[in-house]
Amino acid sequence: MAAEVLSRAGVAVHLFDAMPSVGRKFLLAGKGGLNLTHAEAADRFAERYGERRQQIEALLGSFGAAEVRAWAQGLGVETFVGTSGRVFPTDMKAAPLLRAWLQRLRHPAGGGSAVQFHMRHRWLGWTPDGQALRFDAPTGEVRVRARAVLLALGGGSWARLGSNGAWVPLLAARGVAVAPLLPANCGFDLALKAPPLNDGQPLPVQAVPAHAVGWSEHFTSRHAGQPFKNVSIRFQPPQGLTFERKGEFVATATGVEGSLVYAASALLRDEIVRAGHATLLLDLLPDFSAERVVREVAHPRGSRSLSSHLKSRLGLDGIKTAVLYEVLGKDGMNDAVRLAAAIKALPLHLVAARPLDEAISTAGGVLFEVLDEHLMCEALPGVFCAGEMLDWEAPTGGYLLTACLASGVRAGQGVLAWLHPS
């Protein structure tokens, strides 16, 4: 996106990428339909960026959701708004959009400058004198001098697509402050029992015995990979507003993942970092009142098994019944009061976020406080940063891609201002 801004202005742009082809993470996003942006109101849209709302909102002011849709349309790709408000290409594919985009960059109209692509060039940092960029290329090390440099190196998730976080020490060594990279929109490992307390404080996850992490073998063998549908989760952080939302998520071999969990992942991750574990409450029947659940559980079941009773009276079966047995055990299942309470608020003790490379996106990165309004590093004049390598995070739903594109536009404009000061 930054290259497009510069190319259109007639600036000679050389784009270096470590991978054999560009846009691999963009194409991966397209496997789910390429959620480009979201159609909700601008104020609500900006709220999705949490603590970095102010910084991201400033970027969205010149390139927000409407501009993303207009940009796609300019490439010959029409979009539509889904029932959830998410915006997709009409064909739900990423490849046609990427092909049209690259075609325009390589063959710009109206006097623009063609972008030169250099593939399989992995950035190694700077030469000792700081005057040239170093790349590991198929022909050996290549050194390049440039009037301005834009780094858009991604976070630390999906390293096989190019974003491996190797840039962090390179920038830190040059005096650029970087917040540690952390998983965002990620799954979690759980423990069936809350970690014990140590002098009043929860044990760190490293102290939780390995055998205590994850579901039982019985549950995993039958239900790993299955979804919890039409449920809600609730999490109350020690400080801040309660998170509560309805949706679905998936049981993994060691815990949970999926859209509903991703939506709360920043809060859950931060609480695990702070306290060693985070307990979310799972409502298996969000459309049923607590009073109705108590009444139906207590209804005489005669000769029917408890599982048959729960299915006939409440529609509970499959993974929902299994997770109740998993957490409560037989004694708890036979206690009508405990069972009814658990159906509406089953505690799941999360003890660790899944590894960074498995996460959909990354939190942490180059601090906005060490960048100017054009995303140029104050410690490195002429060096700009954009995209996921900046210190921000957002839920899935088009917010990630929109902010990345907006940061590219801002950085591109910043490079122009640097090259041609008024």
CATH number at residue 179: 3.50.50.60
Res 199 pLDDT > 70: no
Query: pLDDT tens digit string along 311-351?
Result: 999 999 999 999 999 999 999 999 999 999 999 999 999 99
**If you average pLDDT over residues 214-237, what whole number do you get?**
96
* 309 and 210 both lie in a single domain: yes
Helix 290-298 and helix 336-344, axial crossing angle in degrees, nearest 10: 150
Q: What percent of the chain has pLDDT over 70?
A: 96
Confidence class of residue 95 from pLDDT cuts 50, 70 and 90?
very high
Measured distance CA(118)–CA(124) in Å, rounded: 15
Q: Are residues 263 and 289 in the same domain?
A: yes
User: pLDDT class for 205, splitting at 50, 70, 90?
Assistant: very low
CB 268 within 8 A of CB 260: no
Query: For residues 248 and 268, what is the distance between their CA atoms, to the nearest angstrom?
Result: 17
Mean pLDDT of 132-156: 97
Q: Please, which pLDDT band fits residue 220 given cuts at 50, 70 and 90?
A: very high
pLDDT score of 308 more than 70? yes
**Structure confidence at residue 240 (pLDDT):** 79
Q: Give me the pLDDT at residue 185, please.
A: 97
Residues 135 and 209 in one domain: no
Question: In this predicted structure, what is the pLDDT of residue 65?
Answer: 97
CA distance 69 to 89: 9
Greater confidence (244 vs 207) lies with 244
**What length is written for the chain?**
422
Determine the pLDDT at residue 31.
87
219 and 290: one domain?
yes
Contacts with 364 (C-beta within 8 Å, 6 or more apart), sequence order? 155, 178, 179, 180, 181, 182, 391
Mean pLDDT of 374-390: 97
**pLDDT of 384 higher than 70:** yes
Domain with 278 in it: 188-353
Phi and psi at residue 207, in whole multiples of 5°?
A: -90, -5
Report how many domains make up the chain. Answer: 2
Note whether 120 and 148 are same-domain residues. Answer: yes
> Sorting pLDDT into bands at 50, 70 and 90, what band is 241?
confident
Final residue before a domain boundary, out of 300, 320, 353: 353
pTM higher than 0.75: yes
User: Do 292 and 230 reside in the same domain of the chain?
Assistant: yes
Contact 162, 19 (CB under 8 A): yes
Pair (74, 175) in one structural domain: yes
Q: 376 burial class (0-12, 13-18, 19+ CB within 10 angstroms)? A: buried
Q: How many CA atoms lie within 13 A of 23 on its CB side?
A: 17
Q: How much is the mean pLDDT over the chain?
A: 94
Please identify, among 333, 353, 373, the residue that sits at the C-terminal boundary of a domain: 353
What pairs with residue 191 in β-bridges?
213, 349
* Same-domain pairing of 112 and 246: no
Q: Are residues 140 and 217 in the same domain?
A: no
Average pLDDT, integer, range 248-273: 96
Q: Tell me if 200 sits within 8 A of 225, measured CB to CB.
A: no
Query: Do residues 203 and 126 both lie within one domain?
Result: no
Calculate mean pLDDT across residues 232-242: 90
29 shares its domain with 123: yes
- Closest alpha carbon to 4 in 146, 144, 107: 107
Q: Are residues 215 and 314 in the same domain?
A: yes
Distance CA 174, CA 171 (A): 5
Choosing from 353, 378, 410, the residue where a domain stops is 353
Confidence of residue 196 (pLDDT cuts 50, 70, 90): low
